[in-house]
Structure 1
């Protein structure tokens, strides 16, 4: 099984290109800085790994529109390796994550407004429960709201 789950911050804005042909396909490339969980015998002082990702089609278009440098995202996908010969005739090996799913890992406000996403309507907000209630942590709903709930 080839399955990868990552959470990290974009090191730069995604680089997006479109394929040639009748139906062009968005190809977004970006790099994630993923913190290392443990720091055992870390000789070079590096605390993060920088992982190249590539997203195709609608995922690529989404990355182009909403992802910006510093945005914290979660990615699932698969590892793909490859190789090519560079201009000097040397063989270069590549490893990248082919993105199957990607999503924001924090709210826009948590990153100082740098997440790049602005929905058409704000998320619903609820007042914090006051201490004069039962103290069970649940919000007190007004009477008569039962008809508006989508379940019984």
Structure 2
């Protein structure tokens, strides 16, 4: 068994680039920055902040939602999977790019930060739901009847 699961919380680096392919299938691409805060070591050395940039890809209704509500600077919670694809540049050299294919997205922050999201509670959107209904953003807590020995 293997698992390919990514959870990111960060800020959008640019407005989503949304394109419509055959059969009106939407795809959105944008970058998301996650930052690890710097710190001071015991001997006084400063370790600076470290920012990672992630290429995010959303499909279909999730891409349409991104087009409506995500703007540069929006804070997002994203769940998805890592995909690496290969392509050739104009000189025929093999290139690789790593992307996060989002399955679930939740708008974070205040309503005004997300370009007028539908409600103050900031619903989570999932590519797995056909009607784009709100999905739980936190897994359910196990019930007390689950008497596991560990």
TM-score, structure 1 normalization: 0.68
Question: In the alignment, what sits opposite 1:127?
Answer: none
Question: In the alignment, what sits opposite 1:114?
Answer: 113
Question: In the alignment, what sits opposite 2:98?
Answer: 95
Question: In the alignment, what sits opposite 1:6?
Answer: 8
Once residues 66 and 8 of structure 2 are traced to their aligned partners in structure 1, the CA distance between those partners, rounded to angstroms, is: 16
TM-superposed CA distance for 1:114, in Å, is 3.2
CA RMSD of aligned residues (A): 2.5
1:66/1:88 CA distance change after superposition, 3 Å: same
Once residues 95 and 40 of structure 2 are traced to their aligned partners in structure 1, the CA distance between those partners, rounded to angstroms, is: 30
Matching residue within 47, 51, 54 for 1:48: 51
Question: In the alignment, what sits opposite 1:35?
Answer: 35
- Is the radius of gyration larger for structure 1 or structure 2? 1
Answer yes or no: is the 8 Å Cα contact 1:39–1:47 preserved in 2.
no
Gaps of 5+ in 2: 42-46, 122-150
Gaps of 5+ in 1: 124-152
Once residues 16 and 91 of structure 1 are traced to their aligned partners in structure 2, the CA distance between those partners, rounded to angstroms, is: 26
Once residues 102 and 40 of structure 1 are traced to their aligned partners in structure 2, the CA distance between those partners, rounded to angstroms, is: 33
Once residues 118 and 78 of structure 1 are traced to their aligned partners in structure 2, the CA distance between those partners, rounded to angstroms, is: 25
Question: In the alignment, what sits opposite 2:86?
Answer: 83
Matching residue within 54, 66, 71 for 1:68: 71
**Structure 1 stretches (4+) deviating beyond 3 angstroms?**
37-41
1:95/1:39 CA distance change after superposition, 3 Å: farther
1:98/1:107 CA distance change after superposition, 3 Å: same
**Secondary structure of the equivalent of 2:109?**
coil
Answer yes or no: is the 8 Å Cα contact 1:36–1:48 preserved in 2.
yes
1:116/1:93 CA distance change after superposition, 3 Å: same
TM-superposed CA distance for 1:92, in Å, is 0.8
Higher strand share: 2
Answer yes or no: is the 8 Å Cα contact 1:17–1:26 preserved in 2.
yes
